[in-house]
């Protein structure tokens, strides 16, 4: 155990710094005139321990991509027992220390009445609703786009990326490319990430090599198939084969049932699949492809490895 002491001491100090209290936000009065699709009924907490002290840079410009600070209010729920938090910008949502434990966020407009979209918002609304939208509809569209930019823990569940309109996904991918889930949003928008369902390759899903990147709740019953345009079966199988790779060619029909989420694989010069956009710090993950700093995932792996060296009769919590 003494041999591990030089390693354990700095780890304890670093972990203590990471889990210490964060700056508290200044409570502010918000006026809700329109709200995006919501889940949860508890009143939001106005004293979260996860809010950064500022959402602007030294010259007053908004941090990151997305919205203008204090123009919208974000009420975010947690996947654990933590209270809801009230935030005032996408930058604050993305910088929250409990971001990866957030379930979803409701978005409310708190700016001047009546709602007048900024040029950037007008572009997002036009992308999400190319057929045009009135003032009230335009605000609702904008709130939904911003909601997609916050945090979506269940990609294929209610309010998830799979059920979002193609225009809304395109608008979100353009509005917030630097969001932690920015690359995932873009993948859903361009058809390189899909869930269970029936797809025509080249239309609703891009051709290429695919792999199951996130198993569904009943993935043991997973069935998938690839068929030619005429109906002839080209390939098919269950969960074991889904974890390898499947080839989708333009004109084919791809069907997935009870499997989960599929992602297009990167391909090297030899045509071999070498990686894919998955989930933050997940197996086979390319952290820089989902907006998560590489040192964050590398640090998690390091701490996990060292922690497993320490003798303990108690089961370890996963990182």
**Cα dihedral sign, 299-302-308-309:** negative
Phi, psi of 194 (to 5 degrees): -140, 160
| pLDDT for position 69 | 84
Of the listed ranges 44-58, 86-100, 105-119, 143-157, the least confidently predicted one is 44-58
Average pLDDT score over residue span 3-14: 48
Higher pLDDT, 310 or 243: 243
Q: If 0-12 CB within 10 Å is exposed, 13-18 middle and 19+ buried, where does residue 145 land?
A: buried
Of the listed ranges 94-98, 151-155, 273-277, 304-308, the least confidently predicted one is 304-308
Higher pLDDT, 91 or 301: 91
Instruction: Give the CA dihedral 183, 187, 193, 195, nearest 10 degrees.
Output: 90
Structure token digits, residue 147: 């909601």
Of the listed ranges 111-115, 155-159, 276-280, the least confidently predicted one is 276-280
User: Looking at the predicted structure, is the pLDDT value of residue 13 above 50?
Assistant: no
Structure token digits, residue 69: 């600070």
| pLDDT for position 162 | 97
User: Looking at the predicted structure, is the pLDDT value of residue 256 above 60?
Assistant: yes
Average pLDDT score over residue span 312-318: 30
Vertex 14: Cα angle to 13 and 15 (nearest 5):
95
Q: How confident is the model at residue 209 (pLDDT cuts 50, 70, 90)?
A: very high
User: Looking at the predicted structure, is the pLDDT value of residue 131 above 70?
Assistant: yes
Range 146-149 contact pairs with CB under 8 angstroms and sequence separation of 24 or more = 146/36, 146/66, 146/67, 146/72, 146/90, 146/107, 146/172, 146/175, 147/36, 147/37, 147/104, 147/105, 147/106, 147/107, 148/172, 148/185, 149/66, 149/90, 149/175, 149/176, 149/179, 149/185
Average pLDDT score over residue span 131-138: 78
Q: How confident is the model at residue 269 (pLDDT cuts 50, 70, 90)?
A: low
Contact call for residues 69 and 91 (beta carbons, < 8 A): yes
**CA-closest candidate to residue 166, choices 206, 121, 214, 204:** 204
Higher pLDDT, 160 or 310: 160
Average pLDDT score over residue span 278-290: 38
| pLDDT for position 277 | 55
Q: If 0-12 CB within 10 Å is exposed, 13-18 middle and 19+ buried, where does residue 190 land?
A: middle
| pLDDT for position 208 | 96
List pLDDT tens digits, range 61-103. 343 456 888 899 999 999 998 899 999 999 999 999 999 999 9
Contact call for residues 45 and 86 (beta carbons, < 8 A): yes
User: Looking at the predicted structure, is the pLDDT value of residue 16 above 60?
Assistant: no
Instruction: Cite the DSSP H helix spans in 108-207.
Output: 119-128, 135-150, 166-175, 182-190
Q: How far apart are CA 223 and CA 42, in angstroms?
A: 39
pTM for the structure as a whole: 0.68
| pLDDT for position 270 | 62
Average pLDDT score over residue span 250-278: 80
Task: For tokens 């990151």, name the residue.
Answer: 64
**Cα dihedral sign, 158-72-31-50:** positive
């Amino acid at each position: 155990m003494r041999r591990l002491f030089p390693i354990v001491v700095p780890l304890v100090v670093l972990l203590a710094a990471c889990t210490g209290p964060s700056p508290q936000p200044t409570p502010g009065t918000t006026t809700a005139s329109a709200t995006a699709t919501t889940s949860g009924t508890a009143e939001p907490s106005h004293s979260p321990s996860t809010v950064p002290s500022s959402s602007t840079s030294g010259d007053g410009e908004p941090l990151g991509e997305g919205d203008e600070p204090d123009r919208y209010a974000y009420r975010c729920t947690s996947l654990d027992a933590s209270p809801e938090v009230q935030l005032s910008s996408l930058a604050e949502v993305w910088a929250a220390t409990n971001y990866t434990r957030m379930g979803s966020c409701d978005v409310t407009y708190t700016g001047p009445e009546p709602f007048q979209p900024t040029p950037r918002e007008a572009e997002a609304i036009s992308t999400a609703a190319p057929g045009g939208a009135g003032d009230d509809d335009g605000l609702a569209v904008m709130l939904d786009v911003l909601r997609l930019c916050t945090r979506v823990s269940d990609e294929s569940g209610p309010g998830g990326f799979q059920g979002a309109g193609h225009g809304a996904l395109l608008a979100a991918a353009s509005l917030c490319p630097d969001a932690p889930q920015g690359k995932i949003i873009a993948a859903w928008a361009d058809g390189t990430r899909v869930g269970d369902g029936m797809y025509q390759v080249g239309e609703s899903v891009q051709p290429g090599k695919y792999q199951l990147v996130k198993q569904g709740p009943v993935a043991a019953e997973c069935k998938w198939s690839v068929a030619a345009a005429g109906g002839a079966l080209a390939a098919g199988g269950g969960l074991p084969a889904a974890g390898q790779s499947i080839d989708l060619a333009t004109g084919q029909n791809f069907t997935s049932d009870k499997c989960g989420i599929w992602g297009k694989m990167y391909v090297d010069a030899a045509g071999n699949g070498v990686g894919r956009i998955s989930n933050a710090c997940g197996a086979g993950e390319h952290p820089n492809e989902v907006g998560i700093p590489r040192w964050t995932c590398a640090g998690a792996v390091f701490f996990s490895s060292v922690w497993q060296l320490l003798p303990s009769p108690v089961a370890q919590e996963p990182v």
